[in-house]
Chain A
Amino acid sequence: MSLIEITEVRKSFGDNEVLKGIDLNVEPGEVIAIIGKSGSGKSTLLRCINGLETINAGSIQVAGAQLATDELHLKALRLKVGMIFQGFNLFPHKTAGQNVMLSQMVVKKTPKPQAEEMAKKMLDRVGLGHKFDAYPDQLSGGQQQRVAIARALAMQPVALLCDEITSALDPELVQEVLAVVKELASEGMTLLMVTHEMRFARDVCSRVVFMHLGRVHEIGPPGEVFGNPKTPELRQFLGQTH
């Protein structure tokens, strides 16, 4: 059984069918890059996996936890997959350390000392141990995004969903975030990331998914997808971005 099983998933906003039957199985430790034109449904797919959008048909399972709409099932699912957003979404009224501690204490009922210890460990892991007491608006974008990663990791998820996590960053800050993701990948974390960093996708990912008009249009190892695109749509897409 795969770690993440996405079967025949459909999602519409009103009359607009955005996902038109997505099938995707992700094995433990895989790093998957999702690429595709704007509006092809990449974000929507990630948001469905995390239950931020409700699906209209099909099923999604993560490590045996089934996606459902009630709060109990959602919580069980969300404890297994963390999500990192383009806009960081740190809690501005809490320090970096408190950001990482909060959900451990609230959701997992971890006692404060352990939560704090875990927060220190996770902030160290993303190279920000010294920023424990800094507020988000005292951190650079790259640092904020690394705190967001630490915050997700502290919940000990089996997989992380990353939606264009470097797109809001100044160019010189992109690498520090990608370095953290690369580190996670090499440690065996399962990652599903929507990205425009083709170079990164080629170097780090085990498979690349090309989405087009709400479908998985092409899928394969990066060498194949980038080196030998089979469909004209993918060729055109790669031509545009390179």
Chain B
Amino acid sequence: MMEFSTWDIVRNLLLAARWTIVLSLVAFAGGATVGLVILFLRISKQKAARVFAGGYIELFQGTPLLMQLFLSFFGLSLLGVEVPAWLAASVALILWTASFLAEIWRGCVESIPKGQWEASASLGMGRFEQMRHVILPQALTIAIPPTVGFSVQVVKGTSLTSIIGFTELAKAGQVLTNATFMPFTVYGFVALIYFALCFPLSKSSQFLERKLNVAHRDH
């Protein structure tokens, strides 16, 4: 059997952590884009659009992320489409992230006083112009802390992709445990690395929240 030093373990985990970071970024960027579209549908004047977006959100929030990963990985291969694990993982995480971001942002948009819609409407702005120039800039400020806060969930969510065979941090931990028979050490480091990724995010979410509360008063 090969000998693993502690450094070997840490080095391998850190290398795998790169994929956790990449997957998190992809999920977050993609999720934000899709989420913005869902948001617009969710607050649209068209009932069909609102119903569709509402259903989308319910579906992805109401089922475990794990099932969504299974379905996108095994489901698609059943249909004869060979999807690599990284693709299935990205797609599932993007759609899952989008459902939460859309709902977080909807709350922020709805917290903008009705008077802002009415004033901008009375000045002749169309719905898209109102969103673009009046509502979203204000909603965005409120949305930053919960959005950054949710990114922690995305990072942790990526660990589930190990199940469909995508080699990120959690999967690397599994592989290393099998090779070293030192589960406690290995998973201890895995947990530490997750913590090192998530802690700054949740801290900055809190910091931004405080800062934005102050900025509200004196520009």
> Which A residues are closer than 8 A to B by beta carbons?
50-52, 71, 74-75, 78-79, 82-83, 85, 87, 89-93, 102-103, 106-108, 135, 137, 148, 151-152, 155
- With both chains docked as a complex, state the minimum distance between the C-beta of A13 and any C-beta of chain B, in angstroms: 15
Asked if B1 is an interface residue, CB under 8 A from chain A, the answer is no
The 10 closest A-B pairs by CB, nearest first: A89-B119, A103-B123, A89-B115, A83-B122, A107-B124, A78-B124, A75-B124, A106-B129, A79-B124, A93-B137
Chain B residues, Cβ within 8 Å of A151 = 123
Q: Is the CB of B126 within 8 A of A71?
A: yes
18 contacts between A and B (CB under 8 A): A50-B122, A51-B121, A52-B118, A52-B121, A52-B122, A75-B126, A78-B122, A78-B123, A83-B118, A83-B122, A89-B116, A89-B118, A91-B119, A91-B120, A92-B138, A102-B123, A107-B125, A152-B122
Chain A residues, Cβ within 8 Å of B125 = 103, 106-107
Once the chains are docked, how many angstroms separate the CA of A135 from the CA of B127? 24
Chain A residues, Cβ within 8 Å of B116 = 89, 91
Once the chains are docked, how many angstroms separate the CA of A82 from the CA of B122? 6
A85 touching B137 in the complex, CB below 8 Å, given contacts A75-B126, A78-B122:
no
Once the chains are docked, how many angstroms separate the CA of A156 from the CA of B116? 20
- In the complex, per-residue mask of B98-131: 1 if CB is within 8 Å of any chain A CB, else 0: 0000000000000001011011111111110100
Asked if B198 is an interface residue, CB under 8 A from chain A, the answer is no
Residue of B122, B138, B219 most packed against chain A (CB within 10 A): B122
Once the chains are docked, how many angstroms separate the CA of A161 from the CA of B21? 55
- With both chains docked as a complex, state the minimum distance between the C-beta of B203 and any C-beta of chain A, in angstroms: 26
Q: Is the CB of A91 within 8 A of B115?
A: no
Once the chains are docked, how many angstroms separate the CA of A51 from the CA of B125? 12
Q: Is the CB of A71 within 8 A of B127?
A: yes
Partner of A87, one of B115, B120, B126, B141: B115
Given contact pairs A91-B119, A102-B123, A108-B124, a sample of 19 additional A-B residue pairs in the complex whose CB atoms are under 8 Å apart: A51-B121, A71-B126, A78-B121, A78-B124, A83-B118, A83-B119, A85-B115, A89-B115, A91-B134, A93-B137, A93-B141, A102-B133, A103-B124, A103-B125, A106-B129, A106-B133, A107-B123, A148-B119, A151-B123
